[in-house]
Chain A
Amino acid sequence: MADFLAGNWGNLASVAGLVFSILAFVFAKRASTAAKEARDEALRQSLVEYLDGLARIAAELGAHLRSEMNDMALLRISDLMDQTSYLIGRWEARPPKKSKDNLSRAQEQLLSIHQALDAAGDLTPEDRSRLAHAGQEVSGIFSTEHGVAARAAGAGDD
């Protein structure tokens, strides 16, 4: 036995080195996968929280439009436009195509509400009705997307 070890210590050391290298690779891979999953989970959770905030602001916008509080509505529109841009910039690769379409619709609707409120002259009842409808749509979009993100985060937990 001692002769065998003495004669083959180099080969045995190579085999042991190889085994340790493989084990190190496996553990590093697992650690990397776990880190990636943790990062994805954190991103999913922060997206849910962010969309929850946007849904709340959109609901406030709808209330301001119904109450004809135009200045407050304009402030909320500004908040929503800024934060939607941030959301798209930060999570651009994450939402599915349908969600991106919804966010585009929300942005365009917000722009139209802003321009309608900014237009000179008194708003007619028809103008008010269109504004309320557009505000409702924006609120619906953010609520829906909040639900979609929460479901995706929940699926990630399973």
Chain B
Amino acid sequence: MVDERTVKFFEGVLSKTKAGKIPWEPTALEARFIAPIGGEFSLSISAVVEPVSLRDAALRVTIKGGFDRYTLVLRDLHGKVLTTVTENDEGVRPDAMRELYETARREAIRPDEKINKAIEVLQTL
């Protein structure tokens, strides 16, 4: 069953992130980004690689790999988890979750700005 509130919350975070209204920032973990909002809550989004191992008996080979699982967490000022959203939640599109993560990551580490700066440096060499 679709939890309308969860979907509305997720869509709100996605739209505000795309509009650059949420101040995502990096953390000590490579694949986690955080943002305080409104003096009352904090958001965190993280990606965890889920290992996958496929064994093909006929070919006698094992294919190892992984795929990212994304988790969006809302906490209150006391650090209590209020809700957790994953791409497995009904009504939350996996590609939208990935889009949220990638947009938050770009906002946090601003690779475009750094690449532009690197280009400027290269031009001075």
- Contact call A133/B34, Cβ cutoff below 8 A: no
Q: How far is the CA of A112 from the CA of B32 in the complex (A)?
A: 8
Contact of B77 with A92 in the complex, beta carbons under 8 Å: yes
List, in ascending order, chain A residues with CB within 8 A of B42's CB: 104-105, 107-108
Contact pick for B28, options A85, A92, A99, A134, CB 8 Å: A134
A112 contacts B36, CB within 8 Å? no
List residues of chain B with CB within 8 A of the CB of A113: 27-28
Question: How would residues 7 to 40 of chain B score, 1 for a CB under 8 Å from any chain A CB and 0 otherwise?
Answer: 0000000000000000001111110101011111
Nearest-neighbour CB distance to chain A for B125, whole angstroms, equals 25
Tally the A-B contacts, defined by beta carbons under 8 Å: 71
B25, B28, B34 pick with most chain A CB within 10 angstroms: B28
Contacting residues, chain A, for B34 (C-beta < 8 A): 105, 108-109, 112
Which parts of B62-91 form the interface with A (CB within 8 Å)? 75, 77-79
Q: How far is the CB of A134 from chain B (nearest CB, A)?
A: 4
Interface residues of A in 103-157 (CB under 8 A from B): 103-105, 107-109, 111-113, 115-116, 126-127, 130-131, 133-135
Of all chain B residues, which has the CB nearest A114? B28
Whether the pair A130, B29 counts as a contact (CB closer than 8 A) is yes
Q: Judge whether A100 and B77 touch: CB under 8 Å.
A: yes
Given the interface pairs A102-B36, A105-B36, the reply to whether A89 lies near B78 with Cβ below 8 Å is: yes
A-B contacts besides A104-B75, A109-B27, A134-B27, 8 pairs, CB < 8 Å: A85-B79, A92-B77, A96-B39, A101-B38, A103-B77, A111-B79, A130-B28, A130-B29
10 contacts between A and B (CB under 8 A): A92-B77, A99-B39, A104-B41, A105-B34, A108-B75, A112-B29, A115-B28, A127-B30, A130-B28, A131-B28
Chain A residues within 8 Å of B, Cβ to Cβ: 81, 85, 88-89, 92, 96-105, 107-109, 111-113, 115-116, 126-127, 130-131, 133-135
